A and B are shown apart, each in its own frame.
Chain A
Amino acid sequence: MKPAPFAYHRPTTLDATLRLLAELAPQEGRVLAGGQSLAPMMAFRLARPAHLIDINAVAGLNGLAVRERGLRVGAGVRHAEFHRPVVDGPLGVMLASIVRHIAHYPIRMRGTFCGSLAHADPAAEWCVVAVTLDAELVAVGIKGERVIPAAGFFRGPMETTLEPDELLCEARLPLLPDDTRFGFAEFSRRAGDYAQAMALAVLHLEGTLITAARVGLGGVEAVPRRVAAAETILEGEVPGAEAFNAAAAAAAAAIEPLQDPQTDAQYRRELTHAMVYRALMRACPPPGAQR
């Protein structure tokens, strides 16, 4: 349970970080952000980086601000900052309600938003938020900057389209109009565990009809994604048990479920159905319902 040896680097500027990454990534160098996934992987020796480039002292990465109708989350921003809404309106409330599902309080003190995305666990809550809202992810390297749409970022479990010498320096989440309705649901056996299935639903209504729907899934397939099959069923419908059940069934049918010893394919489909249904119900609770 002890990590293998490595050399430690603690740059203080973005420039120095990118130069170190360019030089050391080919020699098994890696970014160290919150360390809440990397340190356990190193303890298990699932990861044996020869160099760690610690970004905790890098100036300018802690930005958390609204610009051009988007929330910009810098690479230094930790999960715990979302415990209270960071922006007015539905986005801040959404992030504050979802962050409580990520690991535990002391882990949220250290782990970062961007580190979660870069780590790309299929059941990471922030990854589901990023794909559901079509976030833009900003990667920088010594050769320059590129903006990667969330839908093109996740490639497989713990695999992204970031290059080894690139830093994910910012995530940009679109602000949500005030009348946006959202609901989130996840299932895990114990508080703080990675979920076996989760769903995020984001709806817009005009009058009594749903005019736009986003349904994102995590923990059920190799990568988090939106499920068009469920979204198209909802558009133009009256919100309620009937439409929500149909959408949940479509989502459950559309997936290629991950399988693990706790959760076989059939169980995961059933969990997917239940999570999508609950997320939609939380977005649009029937009149008089508790929640």
Chain B
Amino acid sequence: MSERVEVTLSINGRDYPLRLEPRRTLLDAIRDECGLTGTHMGCEHGVCGACTVLLDGQPIRACLMFAVQAEGAAIRTIEGLAAGDALNPVQRAFIAHHGVQCGFCTPGFLMLATGVLARDPDISDDELREVLSSNLCRCTGYQNIVTAVRAALAELRGGAA
């Protein structure tokens, strides 16, 4: 075991002061140290995307970053998407278009889509499909996920116009 270090993670607007080993990934810290288990753990080597969170607004793989590296960054997880009982547009679209089956991949897709739509509202449909290929879903066959994210994007554009 290596020496523990002090780190404060800022997750969904709340500070979590932690003492942990540098080898703890951001994913481990979010789930085990902060108790936010909505972020899922799949492959732990960057392939599946179940662990996707937003780091200063950017969707990233939480399993490919060490928690010590995230000091000072604003982290957003699935627990921070809804405002009280009001779901965000991507969450609502996943329900309306049946983008969820077993739900294992869902937090990762919601964070991915939320991050990409906020960063790049002008994204083309081809690019959107390419982005959604980042994460693995073993249930839905992707079609309803694509439909849901397109619907959320349309709502976002409609609202902005």
Contact = CB atoms under 8 A, between A and B. Distances in A.
A129 B60 CA distance: 25
Interface size class of B (residues with CB under 8 A): 20 to 34
Among B1, B28, B45, B55: residue with most chain A CB under 10 A: B45
B64 interface: yes
Interface in A130-188: none
Contact of A52 (B22, B44, B49, B116): B22
A192 B23 contact: no
A44 B45 contact: yes
A191 B133 CA distance: 7
A8 B133 contact: no
B69 A54 contact: yes
A100 interface: yes
Contacts of A105: 59, 112, 116, 130-131, 134
B1 A106 contact: no
B58 interface: yes
A105 B23 CA distance: 24
Contacts, number: 90
Contacts of B45: 1, 39-40, 43-44
Contact of B63 (A43, A54, A100): A43
Given A100-B130, A104-B134, A192-B133, A3 B23 contact: yes
A5 interface: yes
Contacts of B58: 80, 106, 109
B52 interface: yes
30 contacts: A1-B44, A2-B23, A3-B23, A3-B25, A7-B2, A35-B66, A36-B64, A39-B45, A39-B46, A39-B64, A39-B66, A40-B45, A43-B44, A43-B63, A44-B45, A52-B66, A54-B69, A100-B130, A104-B134, A105-B116, A105-B131, A106-B49, A106-B58, A106-B61, A106-B112, A107-B46, A110-B60, A110-B64, A191-B130, A191-B133
Interface of A: 1-8, 10, 35-36, 39-40, 42-44, 52, 54, 56, 80, 100, 103-107, 109-110, 190-192
